[in-house]
Amino acid sequence: MLGNFEYHNPTKVYFGKGALENLNEELKNYGKTVQLIYGGGSIKKNGIYDAVVAALHACGKEIVEDGGVMPNPTTEKVLEGAAIAREHAVDLLLAVGGGSVCDYAKAVSVSAYCDGDFWQKYYVDFEDPTCKVIPVACVLTMVGTGSEMNGGSVITNHKEKRKIGHVFGSDVMPKFTILDPTFTYTVPKRQMVAGIYDAFNHICEQYFSGEDDNVTDYLCEGLMRSIVVSSYKAIEDPCDYEARSNLMWAATWALNTLLDMGKETDWEVHMLGQAVGAYTDETHGMTLSAVSLPYYRHILPYGVKKFRRFAVEVWKVEEKGSDEEIALKGLAALEHWMKDLGVAMNISELGVTPDMIEGIAEATRVMDGGYKVLTHAEIVKILQESL
Ligand code: NZQ
Ligand code: ZN
């Protein structure tokens, strides 16, 4: 049974080939100074930077450059960006890139005018912003995180060896987001498949919880099937528009505040993956894939009905044998697909060594919405099985 909820997603989406042409019209709603936020330079190579700058100039905006946002953005970089935003009294933070760039823009949005330590306030104490928040908008170039239409912002603190996400409210979510699937054609294959697995896992995190039959389960199963089908097409031809557009929209819906309405969610794979990320600085989707199967095999006995349903509805496993046998066949099908994608299948290949396990386990937040609240010993066991 769905619990009560209030639903409101304020992000306006422009989707499709040429969607960037809507930028000019949107920019009219904001003041003169725009902080142009981007990553390590991919947008300068593929022409997206020039197109965005042309739109900003056409609208008479003053551009304050803020490039060099790294994958897994850091606390130091957020402080740098917040100082830029304050100094220039920017009116809009325009993130042009993937999840890292968009997450970083949200962190800058709530930190520029924050009194005190933004890390402690938002990422340790999970407080809501009480200061002025700068509007954020997004031009997405890499599919996976859903950051383009949600309030999530994940920041890495290398000193403390912690990678933590805060889900901010609607005032921090992008005001508008531009999704042109052709912008993703140049994403390297390793990043593309990591993003595909990330999106798929966002759905798993919201699916593997609860015992009820509700509308969300059906939405999840449809989205998962669509991602699997499109993933094969995109691997074969990175410029397959149908596949790229399906992946882009499915990934947005995978984490745009819809699927978790009125139901419990898990998110333990993400907590494990983020802790691995804090120690390795590895690609987010790979940190998830590397721990997923040991985790799901561990919790399967506590949620066997749902894992059985996953096997039958998502992977079309024949309904022969015990519930547990069918459920395990579903995880075998998931494993097969992950290997076809080419995502990381263990944490050793991401640079984790046995001596890191205790620290990673310590950095793993324990969630209580899934099928099993993990003990520290169980976390250590899952990480050891992931090696
Ligand atoms: O930095 P540049 O040069 O732009 O290159 C990037 C980067 O190296 C490259 N790239 C992006 N678009 C490209 C491209 N290369 C060629 N052509 C393009 N069109 O891809 C690399 C990875 O980019 P990044 O933004 O780091 O990837 P992703 O979108 O996977 O974002 C990962 C971050 O998002 C967080 C993750 O933890 C991680 O820090 N997440 C955010 C979430 C949210 N906001 O809700 C939820 C997720 O679970 C996730 O935790
Ligand atoms: Zn994720």
> pLDDT tens digits, residue range 304-360?
999 999 999 999 999 999 999 999 999 999 999 999 999 999 999 999 999 999 999
Q: Which residues contact 290 (CB under 8 A, 6 or more apart)?
A: 273, 276, 343, 344, 345, 346, 347, 349, 350, 386
* Residue 10 in tokens: 């304020």
Q: Ligand 1: which of 284, 287, 288, 367 to mutate, judged by most atoms within 8 Å of the beta carbon?
A: 284
Ligand nearest to the CA of 146: 1
Region 143-163: mean pLDDT is 98
Q: How far is the CA of 280 from the centre of ligand 2 (A)?
A: 16
Segments making up each domain of the chain, as ranges: 12-183, 188-386
Q: Is the per-residue pLDDT at 211 higher than 90?
A: no
> 188-386 maps to which CATH number?
1.20.1090.10
| 219 close to 259: Cβ distance less than 8 angstroms | yes
Ligand 1 contacts CB of residue 74 (under 6 A): no
| 121 close to 147: Cβ distance less than 8 angstroms | no
Region 246-253: mean pLDDT is 98
Q: pLDDT confidence of 212, banded at 50, 70, 90? A: confident
> pLDDT tens digits, residue range 21-30?
999 999 999 9
Q: pLDDT confidence of 1, banded at 50, 70, 90? A: confident
- Ligand 1 closest atom vs CA 191: 20
pTM over 0.75: yes
Range 12-183: architecture per CATH: 3-Layer(aba) Sandwich (3.40)
Ligand 1 contacts CB of residue 99 (under 6 A): yes
Element (H, E) at 35: strand 33-38
Q: How far is the CA of 58 from the centre of ligand 2 (A)?
A: 36
Calculate the alpha carbon distances from 54 to 28, 31, 57, 129, 134 in Å: 14, 17, 5, 33, 23
Ligand 1 contacts CB of residue 40 (under 6 A): yes
Q: How far is the CA of 205 from the centre of ligand 1 (A)?
A: 19
327: Cα separation from own chain's centroid = 26
